[in-house]
Amino acid sequence: MSDPEDPQLEARLAEQETFEPPAEFVEQANVSDPGIYEAFADAWPACWERAADLLDWETDYDEVLVEDDEPFYEWFVGGELNASANCLDRHLDERGEDLAIQWEGELGDTRRFTYRELHREVNECAAALRELGVEEDDVVTMYMPMIPELPVAMLACARIGAPHSVVFAGFSAEALATRMNAADSEFLVTCDGYYRRGDALDHVSKANEGLAGVDHGTTTVVVDRLGDDLDHELGDDQVGYDDRLAEHAGADVAPVTRDAEDMLFLMYTSGTTGRPKGVKHTTGGYLSYVAWTSHAVLDVDPADTYWCAADIGWITGHSYIVYGPLALGTTSVMYEGTPDYPDKDRLWEIVDTYDVTQMYTAPTAIRAFMKWGEKYPAGHDLSSLRLLGTVGEPINPKAWKWYYRHIGEESCPVVDTWWQTETGGMMITTLPGIGTMKPGAAGPPLPGIGAQVVDADGEAVAAGEAGYLTVQRPWPGMLRTLYRNDERFIDEYWAEYSDPESDEWVYFPEDGAKIDGDGYVTVLGRVDDVVNVSGHRLGTMEIESAIVAVEGVAEAAAVGGAHDVKGEAVYAYVILEDGAEQSDDMEQRIIQGVEDAIGAIARPDTVIFTPELPKTRSGKIMRRLLEDIANDDDLGNTSTLRNPDVVEDIEAKVRGD
């Protein structure tokens, strides 16, 4: 590894605004012809046959896209396939002995599944679920952490035609009950517990509490993860996973033929009304789209050892830990624990140990790595890495360049990807074998994706102007509807900029964005993530990027607090890098950095230094709580946070100001 302390190199990177993909990467990239954008535009929607061709179809589709009933689009109409067979069976002849999943537990225990071994366990699980009464189109809920039995259960459900609904293990018992009731799900797969920061956590008690709130009968399968570390008894209508699979050892379950438009899974996501929305994804369009984006954006090949460091409880894990990589026959790495246990180099140790070739993680994690310092990655051989990616929120230029420099050693392209639960897969990013990278900008829309930034009237904004991100035409990975609620589906996503009389439907993801003269989109965050200072709407992402550009700052969150004159004032909550000191000088440098980058109108009225920011279990900053603190409002329940104790500390600092 090159010298991590080279100040001249760091200065050059700080000034550099664009980066070209390395020639060595381009030479081997799955997609390297710039003509792909024009080819997709000229042949739309037939261009999406390229995605469908990555799968095995039992029955060929008749039409790529049917648009008779917008926005209820149908993809690959008439086609039939099975997602489990596409992720497993078709690889057995050529890659049966190749690794499908490389799993590492938080305590250092490992498990490896070849495609043949994974196929065998998925078949046994499918047989067990079927014997318990799971039938085609029954929704099976999964409430599990990052253990191999989760993707096994997902693929087993797909095998027998039963949609799955994965509930993030960090969610509350009430959230589990709400989702099972909404889906009329009578089946749950969960586990006794899991490890977090070395502690054995009791998960089955929380699952049982949630089941008590389900208003219909249920059958539960419980995986024994903790062994002797947690004594537990199975209740009525509960069975042990290992016992049931042992009863079906060697089972061979024929994959159920599914129509391309049959539901593959439900994923519940937050709604503006407080009621979670059941996002419905289908078999043919979703699977083809995540396979294509894994191939084109993540550059996945069967010979790779690929790692998406997300949680399968979120859409990122569905698309880019399970379905996309396994459909392409690669090795997908799974990790149970946190990135800093037992030490802050845990992730780099995993990259080094398994010769990971691609790493796809969140800006939240990268900012934490920055704060801890480059000494941790510098202690490991990361030369196996070929590509880096980010997902979950916009990444500021400073974090992008740190990732590029200290993890990729300037030899890996970085794909900054924008997409959502509802889109199924990536929508805006550079193609790493083609596109110039611009830190801070996600990139252009992918080939075939009709994304535009528009004003309040739906007209395209000029280069450099801020507006609303929209998608102007359908794509294969799109959600089909909200489960059992077509009306809400239209109201939530399509009504804002659509014209029903002309059948011109426009998808509005509720994100603000800018677009430059090269067509690169910079996502500014949710449209409600703004501070209205004296009538000027300022994106919190812009303010935060300006703050973290200040030397010594690791992470920041900007929110609005009530102000008698301005309407709202900017409150900046700031985490410093290790070794940087809190001082009046640092505060002034932060304020000056914002003024220089945006203008005096964005100047923070209050700067609060804190060692942590309140975050959800998935790592997202809870800006709502920071706003409540700034406005002296009731904070409500904070127990579901990853770090609830920090809220009281921040509140005390603000009140002290």
CA atoms of 329 and 93, how far apart (whole Å): 12
Are the beta carbons of 533 and 99 closer than 8 angstroms?
Answer: no
pLDDT in tens, 588-636: 999 999 888 777 778 899 999 998 888 876 667 888 788 888 888 887 7
Residue 639 — pLDDT band, cuts 50, 70, 90?
low
CA atoms of 383 and 407, how far apart (whole Å): 9
Instruction: Give 40-96 as a DSSP string.
Output: HHHTTTGGGHHHHTTS--SB--SEEEE-TTTTS-EEEET-EE-HHHHHTGGGHHHHT
Which of the 8 DSSP states describes residue 336? Answer: -
Q: CA-CA distances (angstroms) from residue 225 to 109, 168, 185, 285?
A: 12, 17, 24, 34
Burial 451-477 (b: 16+ CB within 10 A, else e): bbbbeeebeebeeeebbbbbbbbbbbb
Q: Shortest CA distance to 389 belongs to which of 423, 424, 428?
A: 428
Q: Residue ranges of the alpha helices (H) in 214-282?
A: 241-247
Say what the alpha-carbon torsion angle 74, 77, 81, 87 is, to the nearest 10 degrees: -50
Give the domains, in start order, of the chain with CATH numbers: 7-81+266-521 (3.40.50.12780), 117-256 (3.40.50.980), 529-656 (3.30.300.30)
Q: Shortest CA distance to 288 belongs to which of 101, 89, 61, 452?
A: 61
pLDDT of residue 172: 82
Phi, psi of 604 (to 5 degrees): -65, 130
Q: Shortest CA distance to 115 belongs to which of 105, 126, 123?
A: 123
Least-confidence region, from 201-210, 450-459, 528-537 = 528-537
Is 516's pLDDT higher than 70?
yes
Three-class secondary structure of residue 26 per DSSP: helix
Least-confidence region, from 317-321, 542-546, 583-587 = 542-546
Q: At what angle do helices 584-597 and 540-548 cross, to 10 degrees?
A: 130
Average pLDDT rounded to a whole number, residues 211-224: 97
Are the beta carbons of 258 and 287 closer than 8 angstroms?
Answer: no
Residue 272 — pLDDT band, cuts 50, 70, 90?
very low
pLDDT of residue 349: 98
What is the identity of the amino acid at 438? K
pLDDT in tens, 51-102: 999 999 999 999 999 998 889 999 999 999 999 999 999 999 999 999 999 9
Average pLDDT rounded to a whole number, residues 18-29: 96
Are the beta carbons of 451 and 514 closer than 8 angstroms?
Answer: no
Specify the residue for token string 């450099």.
464
**pLDDT > 90: percent of the chain:** 70
CA atoms of 130 and 139, how far apart (whole Å): 12
What is the identity of the amino acid at 546? A
pLDDT in tens, 517-537: 999 999 987 776 777 776 555
CA atoms of 39 and 469, how far apart (whole Å): 24
pLDDT in tens, 382-439: 999 999 999 988 888 999 999 999 999 999 999 999 999 999 999 999 999 998 999 9
Paired residues of 556 in beta bridges: 574
Q: What is the 3-state secondary structure (H, E, C) of 87-118?
A: HCHHHHHHHCCCEEEEEECCCCCEEEEEHHHH
> How many residues would you count in the chain?
657
CA atoms of 106 and 594, how far apart (whole Å): 40
Q: CA-CA distances (angstroms) from residue 404 to 55, 277, 383?
A: 33, 36, 13
Q: Residues with Cβ < 8 Å from 245, sequence gap 6 or more?
A: 121, 124, 125, 128
pTM: 0.85
Specify the residue for token string 């710039």.
34
Mean pLDDT of all residues in the chain?
Answer: 91
Residue 502 — pLDDT band, cuts 50, 70, 90?
low
Q: At what angle do helices 149-160 and 115-131 cross, to 10 degrees?
A: 60
